[in-house]
Amino acid sequence: MSILFFLVALLFLWQGTYIVLVDWLGIYKCYAFPSPLGVGQKLVELWHRGTLGQIIGNSLLRGLQGYLVAIVIGVLLGVLLYRSKYLQKNLRPLILGVQTLPSVCWVPFSILWFGLSEHAILFVVIMGSSFGIAIGVDQAMQHVAPIHKKVAYTMGANQWQLYTKVIFHAALPEFVMVLKQGWSFAWRSLMAGEVMTTSIGLGQTLVTGRDLADINQVALVMLLIIGIGVCIDQCFFTVVENHLLRTRGLLPEKKRGRVVVYTKRVLRWGYGLVGGFAKSFS
């Protein structure tokens, strides 16, 4: 309830600021300063057109596709950095340098190589997030206490068992943080790719609002981008992260609602399935 009250207070403050600056003082024109009522009207308009779901769905699908590919590339590259001192010394600084590039820098390459297509957007998403995931995975594995590895070797663990049953499990909470950060990179890169192309999505809708001088549509798309990012973080990454921390005694136990109980059961089933596959290959 406190969050809801805070958001409602922000909306009233926003609308009051609009009334003072636009209607009373005339400092800004109505087409240059968005208002909550105007944004709400634009939201209802897009909903009645039937395009709102398509816009959000297309962006989420592209973001998820690019993010999954970035996870595969980032994890593999991160493991290689961890295993090879040569790559750690020579390739890691280069990856760090590439990671500092803004995502929009990859847009000209993507358009020249793939044209104004879906592949161009996916390329920007992958390049914008995979290197950050690689650096994070390498750091997470570096933070595993050496005593854990020594104990595993003493007990006769091979390389596969060392990584799947010791290093992976010890670094799992930090892996989740890395994946959360990777998703934020991917979501931001997706917007950069969609803004420069003509594919239907949140980025293209943002550019359309700019071209039509519709500040309310621009503000609506920005709020949707923020809202979707927050929802994914709170409904997935935060739930998984808190579950892992509680199972390791790093967070106190508390009464869980029905949704959280079902989420915990699904996570246990997923962990058991992954463990079964790892055991069958070991």
- To 10 degrees, the CA torsion angle through 110, 112, 118, 119? -60
Closest CA to 229 of 260, 256, 202: 202
Give the span between the Cα atoms of 111 and 113, in whole angstroms.
6
Question: What is the chain's pLDDT, residue by residue, as a tens digit (282 residues)?
Answer: 578 888 889 999 998 999 999 988 888 888 889 999 999 999 999 999 888 889 999 999 999 999 999 999 999 999 999 999 899 999 999 999 888 888 888 988 898 998 888 899 999 999 999 999 999 999 999 988 888 888 888 888 888 888 888 888 888 889 999 999 999 999 999 998 888 777 788 988 998 898 888 999 999 999 999 999 989 998 899 888 888 888 877 677 665 555 555 555 655 655 554 455 445 434
What tokens were used for 248? 């390791």
CA distance readout (Å), 33 to 6, 16, 27, 216, 219: 22, 12, 10, 8, 9
Handedness of CA 128, 239, 61, 207 (dihedral sign): negative
Are the CB atoms for 74 and 180 separated by under 8 Å? no
- On whether the CB atoms of residues 253 and 242 are closer than 8 A, the answer is no
Rounded to whole angstroms, how far apart are CA atoms 238 and 224? 20
Per-residue model confidence (pLDDT) at position 263: 59
pTM of the entire structure? 0.83
Residues with Cβ within 8 Å of residue 198, at least 6 apart in sequence:
116, 204
pLDDT, position 249: 73
pLDDT at 122: 93
Q: CATH for 53-251, among 4.10.410.60, 1.10.3720.10, 1.10.10.10, 1.20.1250.20? A: 1.10.3720.10
Location of structure tokens 């503000």: 219
Give the model's pLDDT for residue 278: 44
Question: Contact at 8 Å (CB) between 233 and 55?
Answer: no
| Residue-level pLDDT at 274 | 47
